Chain A
Amino acid sequence: MMNQTLKPLYFAVPLAFEAHAIAQDQSQPTQRSYLKALAVYAVEFYLRCLGIGADFAQGDWRDPWMSKLIDVADVCLPQGKLECCVVLPNAEVLQISPDAWGDRIAYVAVQMDRSLKSATLLGFIPNPAIDLPLSQLRSIDQLPDFLSQFAQQNLPMNRSFINLRNWLEGAFETGWQSLESALEMNQLQAIAVRGEERHEISVRQAKLIDLASIWAIDRSCCRWQLR
């Protein structure tokens, strides 16, 4: 456990024309959607400073339909999504939208200044919690470490990192091959395949992993609706 210094390490982000222009560039910004856009902007600023690559255009909140139906403020990194959580100036706890409980690697607390001329990254937590006191956040300067550990441990198996659409089109990620080519035909017959529903296409890819001379088969199934 790191020794906490007396002055907590926050990360301040100045907000001006560009940030507000993005927040205003929504079809009908509500107070909440406006603040969420600023929070995402602040987190993106942090990531850009540190040179952490993110796909800023991919967030669900940027899709007008998604943002109308669910309350999220996500930023996509190669290893998964960060959720940017708005913290109002006088708040004492972190509120996480339940719509963002799934598929997140961390929740970053972004406190807005009353003037909306700056925001402060207060810290983060890896798992969703209800009304977590802000004092219990992990310090923002631990985020790079956290993200890199996450990448090392989970990257190869992380579902969100593997583009399932590519599989449907026959393009496989490195390290994956078709089930048929990974196994001899006689072995293939021995594999139990989960029943498939009529309206769905089942796509399977396989990866052979040599574990002390045991061949383990790692399968990942996805269902896809016919269009």
Chain B
Amino acid sequence: MELEDRSSFAEQLRQHVEEARAHPPRSLQRQKLLNQIVQEIFNSGRLGHPQQALWPPDLYEDLYNEALQKTLIEICQKIDKYNSEYPVMAWVNFRLNYQFVAVVQDYQRQGITQLPKGNKMAPVRLPSLENLPIAIPNSTEDAPQLQQFLRQDPEGLLQKQRLRDRPDVTFQMLAIAKFIEGKSWPQIAAELEVSAQTLCSFFNRQLRDLIPYFKKYLEA
């Protein structure tokens, strides 16, 4: 029974990989199959666990996840290189071993370079939901400065941006309602009788262009 399951899973996965390869890269058909293949591999219960005994469990999970993630991307990108003489999972696990060794090398070389510098010898602990480093949002800190800037609009750029179909609605008006009066888009939308989606999309686009102006006056 167990064996049958195993071989039918292997056969199904092999078929999906063959099918995916038959479609050109970036085609919709290939995308859909890759979506399926990644989930099948991930949920297969047949992924190897290289060097598991050598590492503390918590650290191992992080090293393993990093390697697994790189492996899954590699499998998807190099699906054309799959040699159909071997089971797909043999190929996956072969690449996973390789990626795991590479991740460990990185880790040993510099405690994973991308991570903030700390005690290099201490194992890097990734936070969980419970122990996330929580910074207090700093928007309140510079609120008076921001409020003054929005009201004064020293170069008049905030008043200049108007909603195309409602020229009476300016960027400045929306910014004051949002950042000073603390109103939400649905509230502002109801007051102005303009859809919240329209307001939000106008506001975000203008904001992006106005960032240099914000910086000029608000960056200490």
Contacts and interface: CB of A to CB of B under 8 A. Distances in A.
Interface of A: 9-18, 20-22, 24-25, 28-31, 34-35, 45-46, 48-53, 60, 63, 65-66, 68-70, 72, 88-89, 98-103, 112, 114-118, 128, 140-141, 143-145, 148, 197, 199-200, 221, 223, 225
A11 B207 contact: no
26 contacts: A14-B69, A16-B65, A17-B62, A18-B69, A18-B114, A20-B115, A48-B76, A49-B34, A49-B73, A51-B34, A51-B76, A60-B208, A65-B211, A66-B208, A68-B139, A99-B185, A100-B200, A101-B197, A102-B197, A103-B200, A103-B201, A117-B61, A144-B28, A199-B160, A223-B164, A225-B160
Interface residues of B, number: 70
A31 B130 CA distance: 10
A25 B66 CA distance: 18
Given A17-B124, A98-B184, A101-B197, A66 B130 contact: no
Contacts of A200: 160
A126 to B, nearest CB: 13
Contacts of B65: 14-16, 117-118
Main secondary structure of the interface of B (DSSP, over half): helix
Contacts of B42: 12
A17 B126 contact: yes
Given A49-B76, A51-B26, A17 B208 contact: no
A28 B32 contact: no
Given A14-B68, A72-B204, A118-B65, 12 more contacts: A12-B43, A16-B66, A16-B126, A17-B107, A29-B133, A45-B69, A46-B35, A49-B35, A101-B201, A114-B128, A116-B132, A221-B164
A18 B77 contact: no
Contacts of B162: 197
B143 to A, nearest CB: 11
Contacts of B128: 114-117
A68 B38 CA distance: 35
Residue among A16, A88, A143 with max Cβ neighbours from chain B (10 Å): A16
B127 interface: yes
A114 B76 contact: no
Given A18-B114, A51-B31, A69 B179 contact: yes
Nearest to B112: A17
A116 B127 contact: yes
A208 B112 CA distance: 56
A30 B157 contact: no
Nearest to A68: B139
A9 B133 contact: no
B211 to A, nearest CB: 5
Nearest to B127: A116
B204 A115 contact: no
Given A16-B63, A60-B204, A116 B138 contact: no
B204 A116 contact: no
A121 B35 CA distance: 12
Contacts of B107: 17
Nearest to B214: A65
A89 B138 CA distance: 26
A197 B69 CA distance: 53
A30 B36 contact: no
Interface in B29-56: 30-32, 34-36, 38-39, 42-43
Which 5 A-B pairs give the minimum distances between C-beta atoms?
A: A102-B201, A21-B114, A14-B65, A16-B66, A102-B200
B82 interface: no
B81 interface: no
A98 B200 CA distance: 8
B129 A89 contact: yes
Contact of B38 (A15, A49, A116): A49
